[in-house]
Amino acid sequence: ATTLPTPKMSPPRRLAVLCSHLRPDGAEPPAENERPAGQQTVISASPCGDDGRGAVAGRVGDREAESCVFCRIIRDEAPAFKLYEDDVCICILDSHPLALGHSLIIPKCHFSSMEVTPPHVIAAMCSKVPFLSNAIMKATDCDAFNLVVNNGEAAGQVIFHTHFHIIPRRSGDKLWPTESFRRSSIEPNETSSLISCIKEQLDSSED
């Protein structure tokens, strides 16, 4: 299988290698100068803000969607290196990766956070994780990955358009300092109260 031996590989070449693992025949996409006129290695135009079902819950105003970098990528108004695209989501390389092959799964509709993203959109994104992560791990010669969602400012969310991070990992890469932290055991007395509170919230959400 084709692998990425060093992080010095150019973005277009890296894109081609990753795409080769997403194609059953293993063929790489054609070079830029071999593509039909107007076809580039950026996100193709998509109707950002329209999920095909007329849903509006959780949407932001048109002005915010217009300024969102992910929406601009989806509308083909900003460049990005695309790995995958379907009717619901796209997958692109992160422009500031934590590791080689760090990628983002992004819904084509603009929802600012997970809690306002419709379940069918989240389900569609999650259904592509095994397929995409397998290709990314093969292309980067890794055997593990983190699936990360930064939901909310305190959690590190910077772009307020729901997205998943797929971050390839290698043994001993020491990417997360917290992995070496010693964690405390859960407190039984606090747990009982916490469970009751969470279940109460779940019951009220179903009403």
Q: Among the options 102, 110, 161, 163, which is catalytic? A: 163
Q: What residues contact 19, with CB distance under 8 A and at least 6 apart? A: 28, 29, 83
Q: Residue 81's closest CA among 33, 130, 18?
A: 18
Q: Check: CB of residue 83 under 8 Å from CB of residue 22.
A: yes
Annotation marks residue 163 as catalytic: yes
Encoded tokens for 194: 């916490």
CA separation for the pair 35, 20 (Å, rounded): 16
**Backbone angle region of 9, left / alpha / beta, with phi > 0 → left and psi within -120 to 50 → alpha:** beta
Residue 104: DSSP 8-state: E
Tokens 């290709």 label which residue?
Answer: 135
Task: Supply the residues annotated as catalytic.
Answer: 163
